[in-house]
Amino acid sequence: MINMNLIVTGASRGIGKAILLKFAAEGYNLAFCSRNINNLNALKEELFAVNKDIKLYFESCDMSNKMEVEAFAKNALAAFGHFDIVINNAGIFLPGEINNAESGDLEKMMDTNLFSAYHFTRALLPGLQQRRKGHIFNICSVASLMAYPNGSLYSITKFALLGFSKSLREEMKDKNIRVTAVLPGATYTDSWQGIDLPETRFMKASDIAETIFNAYQLSDRTDIEEIILRPQLGDI
pLDDT in tens, 210-231: 999 999 999 999 999 999 999 9
Taking residue 117's Cβ as centre, other Cβ atoms within 10 Å add up to 28
Contact 10, 91 (CB under 8 A): yes
Distance (Å, rounded) from C-alpha 150 to C-alpha 148? Answer: 6
DSSP-assigned beta bridge partners for residue 86: 7, 136
Domain boundaries, the chain: 5-229
Report pLDDT for 12.
Answer: 87
> Which of 57, 154, 188, 216 is labelled catalytic?
154
Torsions phi, psi for 100 (to 5 deg): -135, 5
pLDDT in tens, 72-92: 999 999 999 999 999 999 999
- Please classify residue 172 by burial: count the beta carbons closer than 10 Å to its beta carbon, then call 0-12 exposed, 13-18 middle and 19+ buried: buried
Q: Is 216 a catalytic residue?
A: no
Q: Which CATH class is domain 5-229?
A: alpha beta
